[in-house]
Amino acid sequence: MAKHVHKTLISWIGGNDLKAASSDQKVPSGPIRSTLKNIDVDAVQLLFSYPRSEVEPYLSWLKNEVDIPIHATEAKLSSPVNFGEIYLAAEPQLRRLSTTETELSILLSPGTPAMQAVWILLGKTRYPAIFYQSSLERGVEQVEIPFELAAEFVPTVTEISDAKFQALADSRVPINAAFDNIVTQNPDMLVLKQQAQVLAERNVPVLIYGETGTGKELFARAIHNASPRREKPFIALNCGAIPEDLIDSTLFGHKKGAFTGAVADRPGVFQQADGGTLFLDEFGELSHQSQVRLLRVLQEGRLVPVGSDKEMPVDVRIITTTHRNLMEAVADGLFREDLFYRVAVGVLHLPPLRAREGDLSLLADMVLKAQGEHDPVFAGKKLSADAKKIILQHPWRGNVRELQSTLIRAALWSPAEQITGSDLQQALFTMPERQADLLNRDVSQGIDLNDLMGELAAHYIQNAMAHTGKNKTKAAKLLGLKSQQTLSNWIEKYGIEQ
């Protein structure tokens, strides 16, 4: 005999539901009652943030209307659009109700857009559910959500192909990335997620900085998708990849005939992102001239396309990212201070993976699990104790991106179910030490301070000499040295090749 599947519906109580308890028969019955009259469920779990004095009469009325067990839980929300608080109220209920014997349904209609967004996030990723909506115009209907939210930090592999592996290697961020894509148990990262959720609700510019591979674009897309602008475009631009003579056209658009090759009108990224979010990656790479023009647009909310004499209004939210320390760049005169303060209203500093205590093993296991659940090539792959030890000791200069690509290689090359330390060591790339790592040498293993000083001097002296065409007088001035002779003394001291 087949086991009975327990069907449970969960929903927030909305304002139209409370009105339904009125004695006025002209008032519609509300989304919850309408849904319960049209679908077959065994129990109902309701959440509410309205005062108990308003909710209790409604619950009494509803229990008389339907012959189904009804449970209601109060959620203490400071605001009905606070994503973090809504998540903390909804997730435990879904976790409790989600069992192998339960068919879970979620009614989307009651509540705020933030509540609906959290339902979709949880019901598409962590707790699979059937979605319903109820309206006067269309009645009660099942909803097919037209997109899949990734359940883990990395995209799930659904089928092995060259394109899939390439996408994984590129660490492309899912376009529907939300805060649950950012998996962590590190206290500092959890605080950053909370701060980012607060910023998402407010229409302020955001600056995200951190090393390459730390997840800056993931945070940017999550902020957009949790914001009131989520239905509008998210346009991304890598500022470091645009030739200087095309920056204005790329940012602000151009008119036909504005320059050679301008064969048609073309909107810039500001026009494309109108109403939504403009994501400027590697923001610190913009030239001084571009910074001036960009600042004016941000201040006035208006722009003039190249080749036009007419201003047009634009409404965009700016999210910028950089791996550079822009505060140092401002102090050094390399970045405009007024532009920095314009974009750095909400600031998030993403730590490198090596500083995220507790996350290395978590993310490593998650990469393998996410792939193994959907493809036999990775099914059952686990890390041995010595492999985990290598992961914990490796510096991961490429951060999450490096960890991800290394595990993919190790899993593909490992003939056994268990990935050994040898497998992982073979999959690692050992990069040569760079001057950027001078401050991170392991003193416990012994260092030669004179050699380190020589590396640093050689790096900048050779750059200065190349920049000045080997003019020692000009090079010495660029390096802050008193004279050409002082520069010659440094070159001789450290044996620097010219």
Contact (CB, 8 A) for 70 and 59 = yes
Q: Are residues 13 and 103 in the same domain?
A: yes
**Can you list the positions of beta strands (E) in 284-406?**
302-303, 312-313, 317-322, 346-349, 382-383
* Residue 101 belongs to a domain: yes
Start-to-end C-alpha separation, the chain: 86
Residues in the chain: 498
Same-domain pairing of 192 and 136 = no
8-state DSSP, 188: H
User: Mind listing the pLDDT tens digit for each residue in 3-25?
Assistant: 567 899 999 998 888 888 775 55
Q: What is the pLDDT of residue 272?
A: 93
| Predicted pLDDT of residue 315 | 94
Average pLDDT over every residue of 292-320: 91
CA 17 to chain centre: 35
Span 274-291, pLDDT tens digits: 999 999 998 888 888 889
* Residue at which a domain ends, from 284, 315, 349: 349
Output 181 or 375, whichever has higher pLDDT: 181
Q: How confident is the model at residue 69 (pLDDT cuts 50, 70, 90)?
A: very high
Do 117 and 193 share a domain, yes or no?
no
Whether 1 is in a domain gets the answer no
Domain termination site, one of 334, 349, 364: 349
Q: Assess if residue 485 is contained within a domain.
A: yes
Asked whether the predicted pLDDT for residue 404 surpasses 50, the reply is yes
In a domain, 154, yes or no: no
34 with 93, same domain: the answer is yes
Q: Distance between CA 492 and CA 489 in Å, rounded?
A: 5
Strand partners, 306: 254
Q: What is the pLDDT of residues 240-256, one digit of tens each?
A: 888 887 888 889 888 88
What is the percent of the chain where pLDDT is above 90? Answer: 22
Please report whether residue 355 resides in a domain: no
Q: Is position 218 within any domain?
A: yes
Question: What DSSP string describes 392-408?
Answer: HHS--TTHHHHHHHHHH
Asked whether the predicted pLDDT for residue 156 surpasses 50, the reply is no
Indicate whether 216 and 94 sit together in one domain.
no
Q: Are residues 336 and 192 located together in one domain of the fold? A: yes
**256 plus 134 within the same structural domain:** no
Domain span holding position 219: 187-349
Q: What φ, ψ does residue 305 adopt, rounded to 5°? A: -60, 155
What the block records as the tokens of 324 is 């550079």
Contacts 24+ apart (CB under 8 A), 431-439: 431/397, 435/459, 437/397
With a cut of 90, say whether residue 319 has pLDDT above it. Answer: yes
Q: Is residue 389, in this structure, part of any structural domain at all?
A: no
Res. 160: pLDDT tops 70:
no
- The predicted pLDDT at position 274 comes to 93
- Residue 150: predicted pLDDT: 33
In this structure, the answer to whether residues 209 and 269 fall within a common structural domain is yes
Contact in structure between 490 and 481 (CB atoms under 8 Å): yes
Quick check: 292 pLDDT over 70? yes
- Same domain, yes or no: 336 and 204: yes
What CATH number does residue 200 fall under? 3.40.50.300
Is the domain of 114 the same as that of 26? yes
Q: What is the rounded average pLDDT for all residues in the chain? A: 82
* pLDDT of 384 strictly over 60: yes
| Domain assignment present for 30 | yes
Whether residue 124 sits in one domain with residue 68 = yes
Number of domains in the chain: 3
For residues 198 and 136, membership in a common domain is answered with: no
CA atoms within 13 A on the CB side of 20: 23
In a 3-state reduction of DSSP, which class is residue 74? strand
Q: What is the pLDDT of residues 416-464, one digit of tens each?
A: 888 998 888 888 876 554 444 666 666 655 677 877 888 888 888 888 8
Residue 96 is part of a domain; what is its CATH number?
3.40.50.10770
- Whether 263 has a pLDDT exceeding 80, the answer reads no
Distance CA 316, CA 278 (A): 6
Two structure tokens written together for 346: 């909400």
